[in-house]
Amino acid sequence: MRRNISLQPPLDNKADPLSIDVARLLQASIAPNTAKAYGDALRKLFEHLDGQPLTDATLAGYLAHLYTRGLAPASVTVVVQAVRFWEKLEGRSSSVGPLTARTLAGIRREGRNRGRGQVTGLTRETVNLMVHNAVSANTLAGLRDAALFRVMSDALLRIGEAVAINCEHITTQFDGSGRLLLHRSKTDQEGKGASLFLTARTVDVIQQLLKVAGYMVGPLFRRMLKGDRMGDTRLTVDGARLAIKASAEQVGIKGVSGHSLRIGTAQELAQRGATLVELQNAGRWTDSQMPAHYTREQAASKGAVARLLGID
């Protein structure tokens, strides 16, 4: 049985107006990409259950099924997060019980290395080469991509954060550097914001883009039209990801993702002596686990054994 799952609030006129408002605000509390991921996870879950009720036991069984198919613990965890959010949205009692919790704990322990280490970080040297190639194309699309690469690298941006930037979010300082006001991110759903540093070279590329494209407000990174013309609509996450992958492949690097610019800068900062706390703050990670994972090789090269025994 196919079941339609939606994170949208009910639109029928019989619904309680307060319930509609609460549902709308609950959905607004998560990023659009997160809502999409939750919706996809829930649809697949109910397709797998095929009419069986959603219980602690059936949910735990589905998680085990996903894990045996090769999914990483992080991907399996999304299902549990989606179920919890959806059940709160619908006012249902929680299906996430002890069986699900222990199954997920086992998946995380046994599969802690699954799916990791596959994403290639794009270092500053590589980014500079990608930017050079993009600018050398002498196209508006190339100039847009060059600005995108540099901004994402400087500010350790997630791809969704990058495409959400507006021109007015960037200011230029007296020394030529810039500041990016990031209004909201995956780890800042309340919209407290963060001020992020942009190098003078990045500001120069942005200013070139705005001058050639002829706009000063609205989306900074926009979709291209035929004839190397810039449209008015915002560049999509998929469009930005494709631009990053295509440019990286031009310089002989494969295995990149939308996080590769972010990861590469974190690795370079670690190589230059940044502490784990500094990395966590720079990348706006909620805890130190992910930056520690991404920079483990750099940490080894800077550790006590490398410093004290490396000359033996």
What confidence category does residue 304 fall into, taking pLDDT thresholds of 50, 70 and 90? low
Name every residue whose Cβ is closer than 8 Å to that of residue 120 and which is 6 or more positions away in sequence: 248, 253, 254, 255, 256, 260, 263
Check pLDDT > 90 for residue 215: yes
Say what the pLDDT of residue 19 is.
Answer: 52
Say what the pLDDT of residue 22 is.
Answer: 54
DSSP code at position 48:
H
CB 247 within 8 A of CB 149: yes
* More confident: 162 or 191: 162
pLDDT average, residue stretch 258-267: 87
Separation of alpha carbons 117 and 94, rounded Å: 34
The CATH architecture assigned to 17-110 reads: Orthogonal Bundle (1.10)
What confidence category does residue 128 fall into, taking pLDDT thresholds of 50, 70 and 90? very high
CB neighbours of residue 104 within 10 Å: 21
Check pLDDT > 90 for residue 21: no
Separation of alpha carbons 276 and 278, rounded Å: 5
**DSSP state letters, 64-95:** HHHHHTT--HHHHHHHHHHHHHHHHHHTPPP-
What confidence category does residue 10 fall into, taking pLDDT thresholds of 50, 70 and 90? very low
What confidence category does residue 177 fall into, taking pLDDT thresholds of 50, 70 and 90? very high
Check pLDDT > 70 for residue 302: no
CA torsion sign for 47, 52, 56, 57 is: negative
pLDDT average, residue stretch 107-132: 78
Check pLDDT > 70 for residue 126: yes
Tokens of 105: 């704990």
Check pLDDT > 70 for residue 20: no
pLDDT average, residue stretch 178-186: 80
Per DSSP, the three-state class of 232 is strand
* More confident: 4 or 186: 186
pLDDT average, residue stretch 203-211: 95
What confidence category does residue 197 fall into, taking pLDDT thresholds of 50, 70 and 90? very high
Separation of alpha carbons 91 and 83, rounded Å: 12
CB 54 within 8 A of CB 100: no
Residue 223 φ/ψ, nearest 5 degrees: -75, 150
Percent of the chain past pLDDT 90, that is, above it, reads 44
The count of C-alpha atoms lying within 13 angstroms of the C-alpha of 215, restricted to the half-sphere facing its C-beta, is 18
Separation of alpha carbons 97 and 63, rounded Å: 13
The 10s digit of each residue's pLDDT in 23-79 is 555 566 667 777 778 888 888 999 999 889 999 999 999 999 888 877 778 888 889
Q: Which residue's entry shows tokens 């930037």?
A: 165
CATH class of 124-255: mainly alpha
Q: Where are the domains of the chain?
A: 17-110, 124-255
What confidence category does residue 241 fall into, taking pLDDT thresholds of 50, 70 and 90? very high
3-state secondary structure 6-42: CCCCCCCCCCCHHHHHHHHHHHHCCCHHHHHHHHHHH
Residue 183's nearest CA partner among 173, 175, 191, 172 is: 191
Separation of alpha carbons 103 and 110, rounded Å: 11
pLDDT average, residue stretch 93-98: 91
Q: What is the mean pLDDT of the chain?
A: 82
